[in-house]
Amino acid sequence: MIQKPIRTLLLIGSLCGAAPLAHAEMKVGTIDMNRVFTEYYKTKDAEQKLNEQRAAAKKELDDRVETLKKSMDELNKLNAEIEKPELSKDARDAKIKDREQKIAEAKNLDKEASDFKGTRERQLQEQFLRMRKDIIDDIMKIVTARVTDAGYDLVFDKSGLSMGQIPVVIYSRDDMDFSKDIIAKLNANAPKVKPTEN
């Protein structure tokens, strides 16, 4: 009768002893996804393209605003001319009619500038999100291949923050981080930068 509980205790003890060994064999890695994303050459290319397009959109918007300013200056001149007492009734009526047309044009220019700004901002944001998704897809393919080949059980993103803005990974050994390997693999096919001529 006593033998059965002893055997059960020995079995439980051996299972408990095996549990730490199972955990010790677990392969855990870390990666700094923010660093990988930032140092990937396609991210830099995308940022450059977006910055060029933002600059072009700003120039076009500035041109539209400048046209609107000129239109407002013309309106102010017309108002000053209409106020002149020496102006004949016919001439005043003609200028008032001209002013009404200029006001309508200025309103259209203002609406066009506002619509253009909203549309371009939305287009650039959509383009940024598409580019970001493509870049993240590229990164995840390489990361997934590395994780599978190396047989990792768990991989943590070192750049991740909790809801309280506290790092999710409080501490990890440097040798657990394989960010450099991923960056090297991603940038292996980067176009060669031509040296600048003096």
Count of domains for the chain: 1
Evaluate whether residue 32 is within a structural domain. Answer: yes
Evaluate whether residue 11 is within a structural domain. Answer: no
The pLDDT confidence band at residue 31, using thresholds 50, 70 and 90, is very high
Q: Are 54 and 124 in contact (CB under 8 A)?
A: yes
Evaluate whether residue 20 is within a structural domain. Answer: no
CB atoms within 10 A of CB 139: 21
Evaluate whether residue 35 is within a structural domain. Answer: yes
Sequence length of the chain is 198
pLDDT mean over 167-194 = 89
* Residues 6 or more apart whose Cβ sits within 8 Å of residue 92: 82
What residues are paired with 30 via a beta bridge? 156, 177
The pLDDT confidence band at residue 160, using thresholds 50, 70 and 90, is confident
Q: Are 61 and 124 in contact (CB under 8 A)?
A: no
Strand stretches in the chain, DSSP E:
28-31, 154-157
- The token pair that represents 149 in the structure block: 């080949």
Q: Looking at per-residue confidence, does 113 or 16 come out higher?
A: 113
pTM for the predicted model, two decimal places: 0.69
Is the sign of the CA dihedral 32, 36, 37, 39 positive or negative?
A: positive
| pLDDT at res. 169 | 87
| pLDDT at res. 5 | 45
Q: Over pLDDT 90: what percentage of the chain?
A: 51
What's the angle, vertex CA 39, arms to CA 33 and CA 43, rounded to 5?
Answer: 95
| pLDDT at res. 171 | 87
pLDDT mean over 58-71 = 91
Evaluate whether residue 120 is within a structural domain. Answer: yes
* Residues 6 or more apart whose Cβ sits within 8 Å of residue 152: 27, 28, 29
What domain range is 175 assigned to?
26-189
DSSP string, 179-194: HHHHHHHHGGGPPPPP
pLDDT mean over 37-66 = 93
Tens of pLDDT along 105-142? 889 988 999 999 999 999 999 999 999 999 999 999 99
Q: Are 138 and 186 in contact (CB under 8 A)?
A: yes
pLDDT mean over 72-89 = 86
